[in-house]
Structure 1
Amino acid sequence: MAYKRFFAGLLVAIGIIGIYSFSIDDDIITRIQRQLEKWTDNHPIEKVHLHLDKPYYTAGDDIWFKAYVITGPLHRLQPDSGILNVELIDGQDSIKQSLKLQLKNGLAFGDFALPDTLHEGNYRIRAYTQYMQNYGSEYIFDKAISIGNVITNKVFTKTTFDHAAQNGQNVINTTISYSDINGVAYVGNTVNYTVLLNNAVVTKGKGITDNEGNLHLSFAGDNPALLSRGRIVTGLAISKGNIVHKSTPIRAMAGGADVQFFPEGGNMVNGIATKIAFKAIGTDGLGVDIKGSIVDNAGNKVGTMNTSHLGMGVFEFTPQQGKTYKAEIIYPDGSKSSAGLPKAADKGYVLNVSSPDAQNLQVTVTSKQTGNDFSLVAQSAGKIYYAAKSKPGSNQFSAVVPKNKFPSGIAQFTLFSSTGEPLNERLVFIQNPADRLNLSVTADNQSYSPRQKVKLNIDAKDSEGKAAVGSFSVSVVDETKVPVNENNENNILANLLLTSDLKGYVEQPAYYFNDVNDKTNAELDALMLTQGYRRFEWKNVQSETQSPNRYPRETTFTISGRVTTPSGGPVVNGKVELINFDDGLLKVDAVTDANGRFAFKDIIYADSLKFLIQARTAKNKKDVVIKMDTIPPPPASDYKNTADFDVNTGSSVTAYAQNNKQLYFEQMKYGLGNHVISLREVQIREKRNALKHSANLNGPGNADQILLSKDLVNYGCIRLSDCLQGRLLGVLFRNGVPITTRGGGRMLVIIDGMYSDAGFMNSLNINDVQSVEVLRNVGTTGIYGGRGGNGVLIVTTKRGDEPTYYPETFGKGITPYQPKGIYKARTFYSPRYDAKTREKLADLLTTIFWKPDVVTTGGKASMEFNNAGSNGTYRVVIEGVDNEGNIGRQVFRYNVK
């Protein structure tokens, strides 16, 4: 089916209206096709989508998700990659939790249990295979979510930004309101604040909350980066010695927007009519509605412009030789500015693609120069579906191209010169009904009562009405408690077909798929005109020496490393043994090569499994050094979708969080949920004793990660940094120096309360170290001001009155090794009221039902569950992919009353 579609598209009668058709043997087109096929074979496209059960969460919640990994233009489920990495990352780019899931035919499901001590704020869920790391972080699934906390959180904030001009400069006036969970304002409280950009201090100060609990502060608003990526860290003193830190992302508008113009195909040529797209982006990273006029260098008005959606718009224009043009812009507040249009050339090509009807594309190439042949190629996901060449000596080309020759998604039309140089490029979004999965969801009743059993029926069909066999995930939430903004929602169609192929930030991508009509299609085309394609650059594709992939596909685990002598030389033909630490029953042997390297390949192990690595020389000598290989996760910084971060996370999820607070206390009665507070007296007693000499200004043990002496005794390291390497989340050691993975800056090192450095830290005897506390979150680093912006390592040495831990002696040539293994997903709790159940507990659930492993047999599937005990609108979301790569999504609602 795939090959039929490919060749049908390639050999379409290009000259339906075209001037000149082509032969597949044409030199330029053949060369481009050959190079693109070579690139696609060496660099196959792989994409990940996670279906989440809800759009936001609170501390103590569970995040349930289903993963879909697809490949190629036909969106087939990926059979090759076998391991998927899924990470929960906080707003300061620190990885809080990470999982490895085993993929089976491109599918996996898992969950994150959020502890009730988790700080409220903006988080991200990131998912990627090892292979995807070859192409940078933009190819990785990375979705922003909000997580609130009404359990341990005592301070709630709401922030507003206002722009003002003072003495010719932009100033951002900020108001932060502080209150408790009941809305009672914190009046007369001292607040320290720091304005940060990339963890560098921009300004800081101190204030006191007024009679309404408000803190007013101001800072300069002339740095656009600060207004879109900066943050404000405040410390509110709620009582003596008790300071609560809050981090608020800065999303402020100051002055005019950044307005850019994008001629269709990339060029404006004098005397040739073309479409000009434009985009207005505010300093907060979001689109701004503008209007204005186009005037020439003589001041004559020659056109008008108006945004149609999220700061984007399109107007038609014909530039004239000898003239320059600018846009006179009017902003929503009435302020004005001007911006120059790109300069038009006297020679060149204009590439125009329009959609005269729902079935076809009209492609036109116009030039003011003759004698130069050109070729036009259209590809999607690395496969050519259309190609044509101009008639020799002609300066015009026109063709009608059926849309159904392309798969759904982004098609890239590129105009090449006679020597194969790319001249113009145009992106077009294709909505092809032939590869859209039709999902029908029905219920056995029109409406239901609380706690009543519900039966949902799913009917999956392809575009021809045939039954579709596929894998789906189903989420049911009480929309009354969990309101959803569908334009910002995580959406399988928007992710796999749109944003995964575009450069930069796309605002509200789901909007274009929720209600497909002429208006949304026109707005989607404006997005295509203003957004860049990111899958490859033609110069890389056409290179004869294409670079190999650094990261291979990971189907199973590989445990590898290097064995050296104490002086660093390789141990050749050394004997290496992998031993299961828990029972010693599993033993696998390997032999080192000429460089001392070894590898145990094609193994799978659970997340909790521990190993011992034992190495000997060829003569069975033990005096060797074992160094294990590690592959660090992709950098978590430079997140492109920071504009999706919620400024007021705490207040925006308050209604949902209040319901979850009741659920929390009900779970506490029965010892259920992700709760550590009830065990605090048991858990902390030993730790308090072990950390009693800590100089942590937040209080001993108030850190993002803690290692005690008992965690270090079995590693036999010479330097402390060697013991810590790979064991601290978000921390790397370069030449013994701790470096944050968030921006690469050096972390502050504090030893027994004194500011120190890595050199002194590594001079300590490992046996003298009692604890290492890692501060990465703004709530813990804020008290250290700007010096702690990159994170803090607090090292406490022993005093003699701490608990004593005795090492397990492994001897020379043996090292413990505990890699992250496969996570076994938990099962969603779905109560049945006809059995013995805790009714109040079940009634408070907001995710009523979650099933990630729905398979349609004969195109059909059904499932049963019980409603919760509350009235409301219940929302069902089904997403999935069938065996042919057809993607489907359906939303269904029913009432409970």
Structure 2
Amino acid sequence: MTCKKLIWIFLPAIMLLGIAGFTVDDDIIANLTRRLAAWSQKHPIEKAYLHFDKPYYTAGEDIWFKAYVLTGPDRQLQPDSGILNVELINEADSIKQALKIQLHNGIGYGDIPLPDTMEEGNYRLRAYTEYMRNAGTQYFFDKAIVIGNVITNKVFTRASFSYQQKQVTATIRYTDANGAAYSNKQVSYTMLSTGVANMKGKAVTDADGNIKINFPATDAASLENVRFVTTIAGVGENKVIKRIPVHFAAGVADVQFFPEGGNLVNGINTHIAFKIIGNDGLGVDAKGVIKDNSGKQIAVISTTHLGMGAFTLTPQAGQTYKAELTYADGSKAIKALPKATDNGTVLNITSTDPNHIMVNVATPKALAGQLNLLAQANGRVYYAAKSEIGKSSFSAVIPASKFPSGIVQFTLFSSAGEPLNQRLVFINGNDKINLKVAADKNYQQAQKPVTLNVEATTADGKPSLGSLSVAVVNESKAPIDENNENNIFASLLLSSDLKGYIEQPAYYFNEITEKTRADLDVLMMTQGYQRFEWRAIAAGNDTQDKFPDERTFTISGRVTTTSGQPVKGGKVELINFGDGILQVDTVTDANGRFAFNDIIYPDSIKFLLQARTAKNKRNVVITVDSVPPAPSNQFKSLPDFVTNAGQSIAAYAQNSRQFYFEQMKLGLGNHVISLREVQVREKRNALKHSANLNGPGRADQILLAKDLYPGCIQLADCLQGRLLGVIFRNGTAFSTRGGGPMLIVVDGVYTDSDYMNTINVNDVQSIEVLRNIGNAAIYGSRAGGGVLVITTKRGDEPVDYPRYFGGGVKPYAPKGIYKSRVFYSPKYNVKRDVKLADLRSTIFWKPDLVTVDGKTSSSYFNGAPGNYRVVVEGVDSEGRIGRQVLRYTVQ
């Protein structure tokens, strides 16, 4: 990246506050610092954050968001990446909606309209630039949300789970929107899991609408990411599919012990953190004792927050240790601690004092060489020192102000530069924006205007030039759990730097106290940092970035003859299909390749690509390159998915339903009724090229090109939820009738799902679904799981847009820049708006507030009486981030 030329300043002086045993750095530290600086300049850390108007939604609503993209050690607003991918992903890892948001100096905003027929359940909102893909999907912004549906949804479920003797009983109740049970209904189900074989079965609901499913639970690892996909019949025109994540206390838990710095050394007192995680990925509370191998009690331990805790231990040679634990449900477990060694180093850091960091290093005997200590944050070294020769212990007290807010990685190196110990420390410094938010009057009335005044200053009181977003929500209609909420501090300072799952990250920032600081320090001891490997940095090993900055779009591809030979020197034209205003051309190289670089176009645009040989002949084939989205099946926060998603927001959903129908009466809102599956029997022209062995159109279900969702990246994403009785797992199609993966036939050729998802969605003319044995049997034993017959376009199909006839022409409809809509903020001086405005949960949303001389303001109308919550977040021109919450009551 070329965003900034970082100025790397080595910090040799150690603040003289209680320093004993450390001296200035030598060549080892200088070499490490230099190599890290070079690596960070070449691979600066980029982070994305989305501020939403609220934490959950219902079908028919809009998700409003503002995007902030920061980069480098100083967390500057990103000037290089110009496009942000924002995706809505369901719990089956299918991308349901995808937007491309244009960034201007790291800032952009948009909205996602949710279709009226959106399936209720757990979803994720993911955001990333192409450059961020180099670090891996686990560093993307990726937040779980719940979306309900009380508009078109006919079936509501409530699931509960009980565990006994390594057996789990799932009870699932099916009701309508009013809570009336669906009794005597046929239900088929499939249990999906990464750890055990998928289980299938059928059941009939009892008089209360319940079914019971039993399955084994032998160990915690086999129960990760377990979910049921159930299909209930007889509740309407079609069968209804419900997806239910499995969360329960299985009587088994994963217990891990983390000696501070990584090592237990005999004779040296060591802090040990521990973490207890249930099969659902969430922390489990427990208490217990530590005993040695003679049965002597050494320590009493207890979890202090979300299954985490810490204690101290001085291991002795010849002794082993174990923890005897009692969980909250009364079950017990015995877990061994890591074995201690006779040699090694112990790195102890105390950071509960917000102003100082105390570092202590101890070894069992005096060292012949020197140890080197280095502390880095976001790829920049902020502290470095070495020990004195001949010492067995040494310490230092470091001012916390030396470091930026966020995670600091302390690493102890040997005299040869080998990393020995590592400890993460969280710094909550004064390098943030101080935001003050106040309403223009103390007494707030319903249906009356209000003005919010915002002031932004730095730690030293100077005005801050910042870009802010503000969301106002009536909490009486949309209650908010702040510990599970989106939070700019938790995301940019904590979650974005750690690969593993963090439960309730916002908890550590909502109210900073001595306890939250201590809990956060324990989290730092139990959470791994994997942004880079010190060994690779020290050795100078480096890899090239696969994904460069994406500032604009590139349309590229290849032109070949009908026999597949490259067309050299051919002319390729790119024409705006809509109005023809954009028309550019280029020439193919020796390999027949072409590219149109540095172009920006809006979403839903249609292009024509027209190619000719050097001799102006048209009989050529155009293939357009496509870059698939990042894998969507690596969500690190799966434990945030709730079992009864719809029920968890039932009260909010009912209010949202009233709001929806009032909007419909007034012709407002953006309510899009999604197409259900389309049955086609007579359209011979559309299916004239079908290779269906039963004959064109003889299928259980048919979708044509016009019925596919626009903007899908992979074909599986377009079909997820559209095909009756077909589900997609990681892009592979399965029939709910069982029998393994479905056979994929493309233009008469037997293929598989991997090939299916390489097909450009715009090239598909029809998909015929064969699930019944009468239709699939003709394909033989390979069709045991059913068949998808895919027919691609030949050029003579009926289309809904003008055509250019002749060879060497290809329609192309890429994903372009999404144009954000304006948030609807009603005014009570317009009579028709009164009832509608009173039903709002999001009262006001403004993503483009800018402070001038540190101040800004914005006005809107209050809605119905209730408790209102204002959240202001943002970033200033120097990379400082800020957040402030204001509450007021409307009478």
Q: Deviations over 1:45-102 (max 9, x none)?
A: 1000000001000000000000000012222111110011101111101111111111
Could you tell me how far apart the structure 2 residues matched to 1:144 and 1:365 are? 41
Give, in angstroms, the shift of residue 684 of structure 1.
9.6
Q: Which of 398, 410, 414 lines up with 1:401 in the alignment? A: 398
Structure 2 contact 60–660 (Cα < 8 Å) conserved: yes
Aligned position for 1:19? 21
Kindly indicate whether residue 854 of structure 2 is the aligned counterpart of residue 859 of structure 1. Answer: yes
Could you tell me how far apart the structure 1 residues matched to 2:296 and 2:742 are? 66
| Shift in alpha-carbon separation, 1:710–1:410, aligned structure 2, 3 A | closer
Moved more, 324-333 or 309-318: 324-333
Give, in angstroms, the shift of residue 805 of structure 1.
7.7
State how 1:27-426 maps to structure 2 within 5 Å.
27-165=27-165, 170-198=166-194, 202-225=198-221, 227-239=223-235, 242-355=238-351, 357-369=353-365, 370-426=367-423
Could you tell me how far apart the structure 2 residues matched to 1:244 and 1:269 are? 59
Could you tell me how far apart the structure 1 residues matched to 2:436 and 2:375 are? 34
Secondary structure of the equivalent of 1:17?
strand
State how 1:737-816 maps to structure 2 within 5 Å.
742-743=729-730, 745=732, 756-758=743-745, 761-762=748-749, 771-772=766-767, 793=788, 795=790, 808-816=803-811
> Which residue identity is paired with 1:259?
V
Structure 1 contact 274–316 (Cα < 8 Å) conserved: yes
Query: Any unmatched runs of 5+ in structure 2?
Result: 688-695, 720-725, 752-760, 772-781
| Shift in alpha-carbon separation, 1:424–1:851, aligned structure 2, 3 A | same
> Which residue identity is paired with 1:886?
R
Aligned position for 2:448? 452
Kindly indicate whether residue 642 of structure 2 is the aligned counterpart of residue 655 of structure 1. Answer: no
Give, in angstroms, the shift of residue 324 of structure 1.
1.0
Give, in angstroms, the shift of residue 112 of structure 1.
0.4
Could you tell me how far apart the structure 1 residues matched to 2:164 and 2:247 are? 15
State how 1:430-509 maps to structure 2 within 5 Å.
430-433=427-430, 435-509=431-505
Secondary structure of the equivalent of 2:224?
helix
Kindly indicate whether residue 840 of structure 2 is the aligned counterpart of residue 838 of structure 1. Answer: no
Q: Which of 507, 510, 517 lines up with 1:511 in the alignment? A: 507
Structure 2 contact 122–645 (Cα < 8 Å) conserved: yes
> Which residue identity is paired with 2:397?
V
Secondary structure of the equivalent of 1:669?
helix
> Which residue identity is paired with 2:806?
G
> Which residue identity is paired with 1:316?
T
Secondary structure of the equivalent of 2:29?
helix
Structure 2 contact 467–850 (Cα < 8 Å) conserved: yes
Give, in angstroms, the shift of residue 348 of structure 1.
0.5
Structure 1 contact 10–385 (Cα < 8 Å) conserved: no
Give, in angstroms, the shift of residue 741 of structure 1.
8.5
Aligned position for 2:778? none
- Aligned pair count reads 846
Could you tell me how far apart the structure 2 residues matched to 1:184 and 1:725 are? 37
Q: Which of 579, 592, 596 lines up with 2:588 in the alignment? A: 592
| Shift in alpha-carbon separation, 1:272–1:578, aligned structure 2, 3 A | same
Aligned position for 2:661? 665
Give, in angstroms, the shift of residue 390 of structure 1.
1.1
Structure 1 contact 288–310 (Cα < 8 Å) conserved: yes
| Shift in alpha-carbon separation, 1:794–1:686, aligned structure 2, 3 A | closer
Could you tell me how far apart the structure 2 residues matched to 1:200 and 1:775 are? 28
Aligned position for 1:603? 599
Could you tell me how far apart the structure 1 residues matched to 2:472 and 2:12 are? 43
Give, in angstroms, the shift of residue 769 of structure 1.
9.0
Aligned position for 2:880? 886
Give, in angstroms, the shift of residue 16 of structure 1.
4.8
Give, in angstroms, the shift of residue 15 of structure 1.
7.8
| Shift in alpha-carbon separation, 1:404–1:4, aligned structure 2, 3 A | farther
Could you tell me how far apart the structure 1 residues matched to 2:376 and 2:235 are? 64
Q: Percent identity?
A: 55
Secondary structure of the equivalent of 1:838?
helix
| Shift in alpha-carbon separation, 1:442–1:731, aligned structure 2, 3 A | closer
Structure 1 contact 42–548 (Cα < 8 Å) conserved: no
Kindly indicate whether residue 611 of structure 2 is the aligned counterpart of residue 615 of structure 1. Answer: yes
Could you tell me how far apart the structure 2 residues matched to 1:303 and 1:724 are? 59
| Shift in alpha-carbon separation, 1:110–1:452, aligned structure 2, 3 A | same
Give, in angstroms, the shift of residue 402 of structure 1.
0.6
Give, in angstroms, the shift of residue 27 of structure 1.
1.2
Give, in angstroms, the shift of residue 457 of structure 1.
0.5
Structure 1 contact 265–425 (Cα < 8 Å) conserved: yes
Give, in angstroms, the shift of residue 542 of structure 1.
2.4
Secondary structure of the equivalent of 1:146?
strand
Kindly indicate whether residue 557 of structure 2 is the aligned counterpart of residue 570 of structure 1. Answer: no
| Shift in alpha-carbon separation, 1:62–1:417, aligned structure 2, 3 A | same
Could you tell me how far apart the structure 1 residues matched to 2:570 and 2:433 are? 56
Q: Deviations over 1:595-644 (max 9, x none)?
A: 32221111111112211222233333333322211111011002111100
| Shift in alpha-carbon separation, 1:476–1:834, aligned structure 2, 3 A | same
Could you tell me how far apart the structure 2 residues matched to 1:845 and 1:725 are? 31
| Shift in alpha-carbon separation, 1:240–1:220, aligned structure 2, 3 A | same
Q: Deviations over 1:393-450 (max 9, x none)?
A: 32222111110000000000001111111110000000111x1211111111223221
Secondary structure of the equivalent of 2:234?
strand
| Shift in alpha-carbon separation, 1:694–1:850, aligned structure 2, 3 A | farther
| Shift in alpha-carbon separation, 1:624–1:873, aligned structure 2, 3 A | same
Give, in angstroms, the shift of residue 204 of structure 1.
2.6
Structure 1 contact 256–331 (Cα < 8 Å) conserved: no
Structure 2 contact 113–671 (Cα < 8 Å) conserved: no
Could you tell me how far apart the structure 2 residues matched to 1:253 and 1:891 are? 35
> Which residue identity is paired with 2:848?
D
Structure 2 contact 156–175 (Cα < 8 Å) conserved: yes
> Which residue identity is paired with 2:854?
G
Structure 2 contact 147–645 (Cα < 8 Å) conserved: yes
Aligned position for 1:780? none
Q: Which of 815, 827, 839 lines up with 1:820 in the alignment? A: 815
Could you tell me how far apart the structure 2 residues matched to 1:137 and 1:628 are? 26
Give, in angstroms, the shift of residue 539 of structure 1.
2.3
Structure 1 contact 5–405 (Cα < 8 Å) conserved: no
| Shift in alpha-carbon separation, 1:789–1:762, aligned structure 2, 3 A | closer
Could you tell me how far apart the structure 1 residues matched to 2:786 and 2:308 are? 39
Could you tell me how far apart the structure 2 residues matched to 1:391 and 1:298 are? 39
Give, in angstroms, the shift of residue 242 of structure 1.
4.3
> Which residue identity is paired with 1:427?
L
Give, in angstroms, the shift of residue 493 of structure 1.
0.3
